[in-house]
Chain A
């Protein structure tokens, strides 16, 4: 076993373990935090697989923005802190069965297809910022631009969806305040 393989196995175990805790823990905030660990481990896996830029983007966006957004959502929906007994649906066994089924199916397919193939990480082109940037802006420009439009749409959509009563309420409160609270 080379060092690369050992590191990979360790990172994989961490990722799987913390993922399991994300979906089974009884504390919502803990789930978010375990998600951080999982995403971090995956960033490590990216590094092992010679995708440097992607690893940093993973940490920045996923760990930095997405998980924070999830925590904000937990806060705004008044999620109770502390262990909750009813975080799972009444019947968890069917879900577990389905998950195991999916996992088994995928693993079987993968192992059957690629069990004798090995990655040679020496000769790969490292996915540095420079090479990734060159690739994106030379070969993947159009999808990049479309993606920026998508982001804009998502932004507008999120604003519209979450505006709703808040603006109305604020208008009413200012109105009553102007009239002197009558």
Chain B
């Protein structure tokens, strides 16, 4: 079985290499490689994952190890229930995105590199979730960041794409320093880099409360960057100029969720350091409200979904912060499904209409029926409508926070109450922005055609091709049926006590959802069937201004100074040496007058001088 895991990791990289070599030869070959390898990877993921769900014993295997000074670095894997679930999520979404891209990226000349990068990303994600060595995990982590950078800037001729890619890369990379230092600290403390060993030792006890606060906080810093939480939350919406399938895969379902995965993977470390849990809880509370507010007022469909992702990630962190492991992970899986669905459906809308601006959309219910149905399911799950999966997992999260607030002992009660208030408020805001987006995209009357009908770009929006529709429908299946897993979590996590269903709270939340929906719908009607509230231009997130003044400007100033120093100081010496030589040459050249008699005179005088000198010397 362990060789299957190795194959599972290696296959995407091999297919990427093959794509890069063969891809430009033929479109059919390239598509075949991309989708075929992805399908095989999905099959292998099933083979690896299903035997390790539920009560199965985790699989651990070491393939190779280095022998160097200090703890050995090993190429080792560890497949437990968490890994299995993440594998299923990652490979399924990756495969569906590859299929979807056949239609979405048809005719794109950069398709081979695009498909290859998706494969590399899939391999990196697999590496992260199966890794049992901290350094191997870091390698996969950074590879994911690299793929994200390249894929956001897929349309690198657009300035926003380049800017967004650089911003994402810089922010996540800076935060990854936290992970690097955490690895070093853990390695020094435990004399090994193996995750399962370290977590086992911590879980066995013997560590004082907050004794491991430093590595826990460092990991928290890393996940704040990777999963776009405050104060590093601004890169995710700016990554939207990338192709929509990429937004679905990387910035909704898998890469940003890797932060949540890491917290879950190192959960014993967190449980032993409540300081980190408190930090996580407070950050999550703040983030979920800020991002939901931004989603409420933005006009760009993809940005709504991006801010929504940030908000839902905060939900997952909130659940983990109060110790609700199962709730957090299940919400991760559910979010992966319905957010991927939403993004892919948004891609279908964008593909049809040609713009992401919601004020230019409308009346698409008749024109894009399949997209309408699937996107409705997605928005419903996001808003928490019964009986979609989002309802169940959100309820599980809010319920666990409620329990922790009332009688939890991991974090201080006031922190849990703050978190609870945030989750409830965010749930309301989520309903509001989901409904607003749904109304503006589909049910609003179509905007008047500003351009001439003869122009082909202003042709009637048409439904997506089959390669785009099938993934949409396939993703509605877990969205509709996922609630069963929440009700019966032993299928995924094995035997244990789970408090995931809170009937009373569920009823209250549903009532809140309905009330909010009615309010928004009424407001929508009142404003004439267009934007429910006045177009309101939100200021740019304040943190970006802080970064611009505090980081970007000093760095640019430093760069300018260095360049001026090089040019004015160092180059001056070089140029001065050249100029001095030229000047010296000019001085010496004055003797070359071209007048032969002058030369002769000099020669004669010189000969006389030599004669005199010889005579005097002898």
Chains A and B touch each other in the complex, with CB atoms below 8 Å apart? yes
- A-to-B contact residues, CB < 8 Å: 89, 94-95, 98, 101-102, 105, 109
Q: Are B605 and A98 in contact (CB under 8 A)?
A: yes
Q: Are A105 and B608 in contact (CB under 8 A)?
A: yes
Q: How far is the CB of B130 from chain A (nearest CB, A)?
A: 92
Q: Are B611 and A105 in contact (CB under 8 A)?
A: yes
* Complex CA distance for A100 and B615, rounded to whole angstroms: 18
Q: Does B612 contact A (CB under 8 A)?
A: yes
Q: How far is the CB of A26 from chain B (nearest CB, A)?
A: 19
Across-interface contacts of A102 in B (CB, < 8 A): 604, 608
Q: Does B597 contact A (CB under 8 A)?
A: yes
Q: Are A98 and B604 in contact (CB under 8 A)?
A: yes
* Complex CA distance for A109 and B607, rounded to whole angstroms: 14
Q: Does B508 contact A (CB under 8 A)?
A: no
The binding surface of chain A is classed by DSSP as helix
Q: Does B538 contact A (CB under 8 A)?
A: no
Q: Does B1 contact A (CB under 8 A)?
A: no
The binding surface of chain B is classed by DSSP as helix
Across-interface contacts of A101 in B (CB, < 8 A): 605, 608
Closest to B595 in A: A89
* Complex CA distance for A46 and B26, rounded to whole angstroms: 104
Across-interface contacts of B611 in A (CB, < 8 A): 105, 109
Across-interface contacts of B612 in A (CB, < 8 A): 105
Q: Does B601 contact A (CB under 8 A)?
A: yes
Q: How far is the CB of B606 from chain A (nearest CB, A)?
A: 11
Closest to A95 in B: B601
Q: How far is the CB of B613 from chain A (nearest CB, A)?
A: 12
Known A-B contacts A105-B611, A105-B612; the reply to A89 vs B597 at CB < 8 A is yes
Q: Which 8 A-B pairs have the closest CB atoms?
A: A105-B608, A98-B601, A98-B604, A101-B608, A98-B605, A102-B608, A102-B604, A105-B611
* Complex CA distance for A95 and B602, rounded to whole angstroms: 10
Q: How far is the CB of B614 from chain A (nearest CB, A)?
A: 11
Known A-B contacts A105-B611, A105-B612; the reply to A94 vs B601 at CB < 8 A is yes
Closest to A99 in B: B604
Q: Mark B109-144, 1 if CB is under 8 A from A, else 0.
A: 000000000000000000000000000000000000
* Complex CA distance for A105 and B608, rounded to whole angstroms: 7
Q: How far is the CB of B275 from chain A (nearest CB, A)?
A: 95
Across-interface contacts of A95 in B (CB, < 8 A): 597, 601
* Complex CA distance for A165 and B608, rounded to whole angstroms: 43
* Complex CA distance for A95 and B615, rounded to whole angstroms: 24
Closest to A89 in B: B597
Across-interface contacts of B615 in A (CB, < 8 A): 109
* Complex CA distance for A101 and B608, rounded to whole angstroms: 8
* Complex CA distance for A109 and B604, rounded to whole angstroms: 16
* Complex CA distance for A109 and B616, rounded to whole angstroms: 12
- 16 A-B Cβ contacts within 8 A? A89-B597, A94-B601, A95-B597, A95-B601, A98-B601, A98-B604, A98-B605, A101-B605, A101-B608, A102-B604, A102-B608, A105-B608, A105-B611, A105-B612, A109-B611, A109-B615
Closest to B605 in A: A98
Closest to A104 in B: B608
Closest to B597 in A: A89
Across-interface contacts of A98 in B (CB, < 8 A): 601, 604-605
Question: Can you name 7 extra interface pairs (CB under 8 A) apart from A101-B605, A105-B608?
Answer: A89-B597, A94-B601, A95-B597, A102-B604, A102-B608, A105-B611, A109-B615
* Complex CA distance for A32 and B487, rounded to whole angstroms: 132
Across-interface contacts of A105 in B (CB, < 8 A): 608, 611-612
Across-interface contacts of B605 in A (CB, < 8 A): 98, 101
* Complex CA distance for A42 and B604, rounded to whole angstroms: 25
* Complex CA distance for A94 and B604, rounded to whole angstroms: 12
* Complex CA distance for A101 and B609, rounded to whole angstroms: 10
Q: How far is the CB of A101 from chain B (nearest CB, A)?
A: 6
* Complex CA distance for A109 and B615, rounded to whole angstroms: 9
* Complex CA distance for A101 and B612, rounded to whole angstroms: 11
- Which B residues from 565 to 618 make CB contacts under 8 A with A? 597, 601, 604-605, 608, 611-612, 615
Across-interface contacts of A89 in B (CB, < 8 A): 597
* Complex CA distance for A148 and B353, rounded to whole angstroms: 103
* Complex CA distance for A40 and B612, rounded to whole angstroms: 34
Across-interface contacts of B608 in A (CB, < 8 A): 101-102, 105
Q: How far is the CB of A137 from chain B (nearest CB, A)?
A: 36
Closest to A94 in B: B601
Across-interface contacts of B597 in A (CB, < 8 A): 89, 95
* Complex CA distance for A105 and B612, rounded to whole angstroms: 8
* Complex CA distance for A89 and B595, rounded to whole angstroms: 11
Across-interface contacts of B604 in A (CB, < 8 A): 98, 102
* Complex CA distance for A85 and B544, rounded to whole angstroms: 89
* Complex CA distance for A95 and B605, rounded to whole angstroms: 10
* Complex CA distance for A102 and B611, rounded to whole angstroms: 10
Q: How far is the CB of B588 from chain A (nearest CB, A)?
A: 21
* Complex CA distance for A36 and B458, rounded to whole angstroms: 109
Q: How far is the CB of B615 from chain A (nearest CB, A)?
A: 8
Across-interface contacts of B601 in A (CB, < 8 A): 94-95, 98
Closest to A112 in B: B615
Across-interface contacts of A94 in B (CB, < 8 A): 601
* Complex CA distance for A173 and B207, rounded to whole angstroms: 118
Q: How far is the CB of A139 from chain B (nearest CB, A)?
A: 32
Q: How far is the CB of B597 from chain A (nearest CB, A)?
A: 7
Q: How far is the CB of B505 from chain A (nearest CB, A)?
A: 115
* Complex CA distance for A109 and B614, rounded to whole angstroms: 12
Q: How far is the CB of A55 from chain B (nearest CB, A)?
A: 30
Q: How far is the CB of B609 from chain A (nearest CB, A)?
A: 10
Q: How far is the CB of A70 from chain B (nearest CB, A)?
A: 19
* Complex CA distance for A177 and B277, rounded to whole angstroms: 115
Closest to A101 in B: B608
Q: How far is the CB of A168 from chain B (nearest CB, A)?
A: 29
Q: How far is the CB of A100 from chain B (nearest CB, A)?
A: 11
Q: How far is the CB of A130 from chain B (nearest CB, A)?
A: 40
* Complex CA distance for A95 and B598, rounded to whole angstroms: 9
Q: How far is the CB of B248 from chain A (nearest CB, A)?
A: 87
Q: How far is the CB of A110 from chain B (nearest CB, A)?
A: 12
* Complex CA distance for A89 and B611, rounded to whole angstroms: 28
* Complex CA distance for A109 and B608, rounded to whole angstroms: 12
Q: How far is the CB of B443 from chain A (nearest CB, A)?
A: 100
Q: How far is the CB of B69 from chain A (nearest CB, A)?
A: 81
* Complex CA distance for A71 and B26, rounded to whole angstroms: 91
Q: How far is the CB of A113 from chain B (nearest CB, A)?
A: 11
* Complex CA distance for A89 and B600, rounded to whole angstroms: 14
* Complex CA distance for A95 and B604, rounded to whole angstroms: 10
* Complex CA distance for A105 and B604, rounded to whole angstroms: 12
* Complex CA distance for A14 and B601, rounded to whole angstroms: 27
Across-interface contacts of A109 in B (CB, < 8 A): 611, 615
* Complex CA distance for A102 and B606, rounded to whole angstroms: 11
* Complex CA distance for A105 and B611, rounded to whole angstroms: 9
* Complex CA distance for A29 and B615, rounded to whole angstroms: 41
Q: How far is the CB of B281 from chain A (nearest CB, A)?
A: 99
* Complex CA distance for A94 and B605, rounded to whole angstroms: 11
Q: How far is the CB of B603 from chain A (nearest CB, A)?
A: 10
* Complex CA distance for A101 and B615, rounded to whole angstroms: 15
* Complex CA distance for A109 and B597, rounded to whole angstroms: 26
* Complex CA distance for A180 and B608, rounded to whole angstroms: 64
